Amino acid sequence: MEQPVKEFEAMVLRLTPQRRAILGVLQVNAGKHLSAEEIHDLVKKGSPGLGLATVYRTLELLVDAAIAHRLDFGDGRARYELARQEEHQHHHLVCIECGTISEVNADLLQRLEEMVEAKNGFTVTDHHLKLYGYCRRCREQREKARGKP
């Protein structure tokens, strides 16, 4: 948790025990894309007095400081993850059946960015890619229900 803590302190914000607990939950659950309510439930285990409003305020501070990202997968709930030190964000696969979210860690758009820059003189600094469909488990269940082996 050292890097997010240093970034938070560099913003001259007080790293309260509550904020440290929220950062810890985000770090321990990297890749899980948790909602504020899910983060609150996990933080409450170690800090029972922590309120949901504190979680929301802290998440906004983290997003504003680019320590965390707020993600929208079209399900009506914002989800959060710690920002990575990579040049671009990773991509997400969203199952429209069960709602699971997986990550693709390859930069699939590098060639497209190069073409955009060459043709338009536009420098891409970041991008977000979400692919919607069926995860392996849901796809197999759908095929089984239709009688496919």
Residue 124's identity, in one-letter code, is: V
Query: What is the pLDDT, as a whole number, of residue 25?
Result: 94
pLDDT at 46: 86
Q: Which residues contact 32 (CB under 8 A, 6 or more apart)?
A: 81
**Strands of 68-72's sheet in order across:** 34-35, 78-82, 68-72
Helices 36-44 and 52-64: angle between axes, nearest 10 degrees: 120
pLDDT of residue 57: 94
Tens of pLDDT, residue by residue over 75-109, are 888 999 888 655 556 788 989 999 888 888 777 78
What the block records as the tokens of 74 is 């079209």
**pLDDT at residue number 135:** 94
Q: Which residue's structure tokens are 């890619």?
A: 129
The reported pLDDT for the residue numbered 86 is 55
Average pLDDT of every residue of the chain:
84
Residues of the chain below pLDDT 50: 12
What confidence score (pLDDT) does residue 124 get?
A: 84
Q: What is the pTM of this model?
A: 0.64
User: Which phi and psi (to 5°) does residue 104 adopt?
Assistant: -115, 115
Residue 147 DSSP code? T
